[in-house]
């Protein structure tokens, strides 16, 4: 009887665990070796040093790529208010950087012209140009002083705005509603105002009585819409004080009704303003033929470099101005008589009252009281006869 077949020679090797462990390990090594040979022959990737990459290890191509960073979100659009404020700041910085030669005031405030006039911005830190007005051009010196004064009040007393009225037309000359404002050296600045609750309100050209009070009458026939107002003495004096500092000896005149002048001098003393500053304000202020009971009319002297170009002065010319020019080898030039063509048509008080039409009794009573201060006084001060 023949012997049974040898299991070691005829039994297939079970690589899943039925064969001997040593056989299984040997087969594994052979398989690996063959695989490496195959990969090398087919151009398998190598390490940077030239060594073949282990087949069991992941190749660079098979490794998962690192996640891409999330896209950077777009910048949010700039708010319109912030954009407008940035543009205003740039415009004002450019204006303040201008030299005196950029503009020239020719002739006098009552018969003159303006060359290279600088436009006051419509809005800026602490101020706005008066809505509905047109002439906003002036000399570099005047516009720069206005910007600095308004900004100073805005910093010291935030909450109120200086409402700046007309300066001059772009090329000067006669301007409707004004007896001067022709050479870029005049400007109207409305009083800062407070409402009935004591909070700042947008300024309007509202006549104020000797107590510094008035009313925004709105519809002159309707007494129910009347809004009481009063002068904001703190901010109005702060503006004047800052303007005196910014303008220095360039400031020639402030036209204002006598009773508001007195209120501002009292506020200056209360606020502890320097005595020399109060004295200068007292010297340059005067009430003209039109009372100026709703605004300050500010006038500058000729700039030194404008005198040779034909800039001339109206009275008064103070001793300190003559001394300043003399130190530069200059002297002020008095204006000649005004030409007839330079005289604008002005509206009298009676014409304005008639043009306003019917009005309720409170308005009539106020206008009747106003007669007491609209006539030009003669205080016999050195520079205000």
* pLDDT at residue 79 greater than cutoff 90: no
pLDDT for position 80? 79
What's the CATH code of the domain at 174?
Answer: 3.30.1380.10
E strand segments, 79-167: 104-108, 111-115, 118-119, 123-124, 127-129, 137-138, 162-164
Domains of the chain: total: 1
pLDDT at 98: 96
CB of 115 closer than 8 Å to CB of 140: no
Q: Examine the pLDDT at 174 and tell me if it is beyond 70.
A: yes
- Is there a domain that residue 327 lies in? yes
Asked if pLDDT for residue 50 goes beyond 80, the answer is no
Residue 235 lies in a domain: yes
94 belongs to a structural domain = no
- pLDDT for 217: 96
Give the structural domain span for 253: 105-374
Mean pLDDT of 173-202: 97
**pLDDT tens track for 111-148:** 999 999 999 999 999 999 999 999 999 999 999 999 99
Q: Kindly indicate the confidence band of residue 165, based on its pLDDT and cuts at 50, 70 and 90.
A: very high
Q: In the prediction, which pLDDT does 38 show?
A: 47
Does residue 323 lie in a domain region? yes
Average of pLDDT values for 177-202?
Answer: 97
pLDDT of 207-226, one tens digit each? 999 999 999 999 999 999 99
Q: Residue 8 and residue 5: Cα distance in Å, rounded?
A: 9
pLDDT-based confidence at residue 92 (cuts at 50, 70, 90): very high
For residue 335, the model assigns a pLDDT of 97
Q: For the segment 293-322, what is each residue's pLDDT rounded down to a tens digit? A: 999 999 999 999 999 999 999 999 999 999
Residues 135/167, Cβ–Cβ less than 8 Å: yes
- Token readout for 106 is 């020719």
pLDDT bin (cut points 50, 70, 90) of residue 27 is very low
Q: What are the start-end ranges of the H helices in 99-200?
A: 140-156
**pLDDT value, residue 74:** 80
Domain assignment present for 126? yes
Residue 239 belongs to some domain of the structure: yes
* Per-residue pLDDT, 73: 80
Mean pLDDT over the full length of the chain: 87
Listing DSSP states for 215-240 in one string gives EE-SSTT-GGG-EEEEE-HHHHHHHH
Helix, strand and coil percent figures for the chain, each rounded to 5: 35, 15, 45
State the average pLDDT over residues 172-181: 96
Q: State residue 32's pLDDT score.
A: 56
pLDDT for res 345: 85
Residue 262 belongs to some domain of the structure: yes
Percent of the chain whose predicted confidence (pLDDT) is above 90: 74
State the pLDDT at residue 63: 64
pLDDT score, position 2: 43
User: What number is the average pLDDT over the span 334-359?
Assistant: 92
Q: Does residue 5 have a pLDDT over 80?
A: no
Q: Which pLDDT score is estimated for 14?
A: 43
CA distances (Å), origin 262, targets 43, 222, 225, 259, 287: 102, 33, 30, 5, 11
pLDDT at 252: 98
Tell me if 61 is assigned to some domain. no
| Adjacent-strand bridge partners of 200 | 194
Strand pairing class (251-255; 285-286): parallel
> Does pLDDT of 352 surpass 70?
yes
């Amino acid at each position: 009887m023949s012997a049974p077949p040898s299991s070691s020679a005829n039994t297939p090797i079970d690589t899943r665990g039925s064969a001997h462990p040593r056989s299984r390990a040997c087969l594994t090594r052979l398989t690996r070796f063959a695989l490496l040979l195959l990969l090398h022959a087919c151009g398998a990737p190598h390490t940077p040093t030239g060594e073949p990459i282990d087949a069991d290890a992941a190749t660079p191509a098979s490794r998962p790529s690192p996640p891409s960073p999330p896209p950077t979100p777009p910048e949010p659009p700039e708010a319109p208010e912030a954009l407008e404020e940035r543009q205003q700041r740039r415009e004002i910085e450019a204006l303040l950087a201008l030299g005196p030669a950029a503009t020239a005031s020719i002739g006098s405030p009552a018969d003159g012209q303006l060359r290279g006039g600088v436009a006051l911005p419509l809005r800026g830190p602490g101020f706005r140009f008066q809505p509905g007005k047109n002439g906003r051009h002036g000399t570099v010196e005047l516009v720069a002083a206005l910007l600095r004064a308004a900004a100073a009040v805005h910093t010291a007393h935030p909450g109120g705005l200086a409402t700046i009225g007309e300066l001059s037309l772009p090329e000067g000359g006669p301007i409707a509603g004004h007896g001067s404002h022709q050479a870029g050296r005049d400007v109207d600045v409305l009083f800062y105002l407070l409402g009935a609750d004591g909070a700042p309100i947008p300024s309007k050209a509202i006549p104020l009585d000797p107590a510094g009070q008035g009313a925004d009458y709105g519809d002159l026939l309707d007494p129910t819409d009347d809004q009481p107002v009063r002068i904001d003495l703190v901010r109005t004096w702060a503006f004047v004080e800052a303007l005196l500092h910014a303008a220095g000896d360039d400031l020639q005149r402030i036209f204002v009704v006598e009773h508001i002048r007195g209120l501002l001098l009292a506020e200056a003393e209360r606020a502890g303003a320097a005595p020399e500053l109060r004295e200068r304000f007292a010297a340059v202020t005067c009430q003209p033929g039109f009372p100026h009971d709703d605004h300050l009319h500010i006038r500058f002297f000729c700039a030194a470099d404008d005198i040779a170009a034909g800039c001339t002065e109206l009275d008064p010319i103070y001793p300190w101005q003559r001394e300043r020019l003399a130190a530069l080898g200059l002297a002020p030039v008095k204006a000649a008589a005004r030409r007839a063509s330079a005289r604008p048509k002005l509206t009298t008080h009676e014409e304005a009252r008639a043009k306003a039409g019917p009005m309720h009794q409170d308005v009539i009573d106020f206008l009747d009281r106003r007669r007491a201060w609209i006539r030009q006084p003669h205080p016999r001060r050195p520079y205000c006869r």
